[in-house]
Amino acid sequence: MSAPNASGWKPTAPQANDEAGPATTTGNRALMLEEKLIFEIGGSETTGVDLPEPRGDAPHRLGAQLRTGEIGLPGLSEPEAVRHYTRLSRQNYAIDLGLFPLGSCTMKHNPRLNEKVARMPGFLDCHPLAPVHTVQGALAVIHELGEWLKALTGMPAVAMSPKAGAHGELCGILAIRAALEARGDARQVILCPESAHGTNPATAAFAGYKVEDIPATAEGRVDLAALKARLGPDVAGVMITNPNTCGLFERDFREIADAVHAAGGLVYCDGANFNAIVGRVRPGDLGVDAMHINLHKTFSTPHGGGGPGSGPVVFSEALAPFAPLPFVEKLASGEYRLVEEETAEDHHARSFGRMTAFHGQMGMFTRALTYILSHGADGLRQVAEDAVLNANYILRSLDDVLDAPFGLSGPCMHEALFSDKGFAGGLTTLDLAKGMIDEGFHPMTMYFPLVVHGAMLVEPTETESKAALDQFVTAMRSLAERARAGDETLKQAPYYAPRRRLDETLAARKPVLAWHAPAAPAGMPTLSEQGGS
């Protein structure tokens, strides 16, 4: 570590091992620039914009809200601000930099065509309170997307208002509750298999249900016998993820649905993994009553995208009358109306109400519909086939060096599941994941699903080419061989990231969420005296 410079600031030591070279005066390592917090590089008394002094007699419009003291925000010139955020962005991993192997939370390329359409003025500037006659085109997009979702799932109704996957889960469960209450059936239990997404039991509990687990079989699928044995007059329904979080298709789904229906319950399918079966399997044909669809997973919209996400929910005939408001309806005249109120004469008179104040998120709808129209029905089928092909390529390219707990269960679907079984020297999944950072990859999903100890869930998606997969496989094989040999250096990885390994337990239990100026050593000027905030 070098001595403080004239301002009293010390450069940060290099973040790699000694082989990376000695410390530098600036703390930078070539193009890996050490960036301080914006509060440390900008002073509250400076600004990148020159504003005239207000006239002393000028009235203000803020009343009691007029600020009486400094707010302490850092001021930067324009080039300083641009450099700051550009440098921070270079320390981030993104799908535009390389393969993003997160299993169970699909991260795939978002085509730039989708972004161009989403930025068209008629969609970009659409306001939720605009008069309906002025946004007919936007309503047409929402309606057409909904029609596609119904056709692809084989379901007769759709709710477009839910803002995310978990929000869509809640929508489906609330519809189930409304349907049961309408027939005077006070059932209180939702069954959730161990292979379901973790949000499923949370959603059921939030909706007021008691949640009970259904075990998985040795091959990672729902234990059909155990589920049938638990069905009874208190069971409102079942929430099943299909394909499940072990990356496997629930081949007994139709039999499960028939058994639940015979017992008077309803079937919710977590459609987060629809990406693996779109164009090949229609969930409606499997007996599903409600299913949410993550537009960011299956139809390439980004996670967020300038506002809330989108998790539309499709419904069976049994649940369609209870779907939430508002929704778009196409009239015989060809015009569209936004149905926002329950009326006795309409088919939605038994709607359970609203999920949200406004109908939906235009950015997501335009991106998803653009993606669908770009591919067509045949292209979407290929999306699923390529996603499954890529996942199985990963599985079979690594199952000789990484334990694949369900590798003998047949082909996987969209994601390959491994464990840390066979690692030596006390090495774990976490150590291999940290080693992936040094290889230039974001770590895969770790320790999930919970049914597998030391789980590593990898989803390559249909986006990746064979060359990209081979590069990933080469890196993973090297790390797996090191872990099986007990390579102690993995316990200190990553070596080449902007920061070394963090104390993740401490960060979760005692997060530091606010910046405070450090006390200056004796004889040194304070940050405010140096021009800091």
Q: Is the peptide bond before 449 cis (omega within 30 degrees of 0)?
A: yes
Spell 232-248 as b/e; 16+ CB within 10 A means b.
Answer: eeebbbbbbbbbbbbbb
Q: pLDDT value at position 92?
A: 87
Q: How many CB atoms lie within 10 A of CB 9?
A: 16
* 362-398 vs 466-484: helix crossing angle, rounded to 10: 50
Q: Is residue 325 classed as helix, strand or coil in its secondary structure?
A: strand
The least confident of 12-16, 144-148, 392-396 is 12-16
Mean pLDDT of 444-467: 95
In Å, how far from its chain's centre is CA 498? 24
Q: Could you give all domains of the chain from N- to C-terminal order, each with its CATH number?
A: 1-49+78-91+503-533 (no CATH), 130-319+356-369 (3.40.640.10)
Q: How many CB atoms lie within 10 A of CB 329?
A: 15
In Å, how far from its chain's centre is CA 5? 44
**Phi, psi angles (nearest 5°) of residue 447:** 60, 30
Spell 384-402 as b/e; 16+ CB within 10 A means b.
Answer: bbbbbbbbbbbbebbeebb
Q: Is residue 502 classed as helix, strand or coil in its secondary structure?
A: coil
Highest mean pLDDT among 48-57, 353-362, 487-496: 487-496
Q: pLDDT value at position 514?
A: 85
Does the pLDDT at position 480 exceed 90? yes
Q: How many CB atoms lie within 10 A of CB 455?
A: 23
From first CA to last CA, the distance across the chain in angstroms is 25
Mean pLDDT of 58-64: 75
Q: pLDDT value at position 162?
A: 94
Mean pLDDT of 336-343: 83
Structure confidence by residue, pLDDT tens digits, 167-222: 999 999 999 999 999 999 989 999 999 888 889 999 999 999 999 999 999 999 99
Q: pLDDT value at position 27?
A: 82
Does the pLDDT at position 531 exceed 50? no
Average pLDDT, the chain: 89
CA–CA gap between residue 340 and residue 171 (Å, rounded):
16
Give the closest residue to 441 by CA, choosing from 395, 496, 397, 507: 496
Q: pLDDT value at position 288?
A: 98
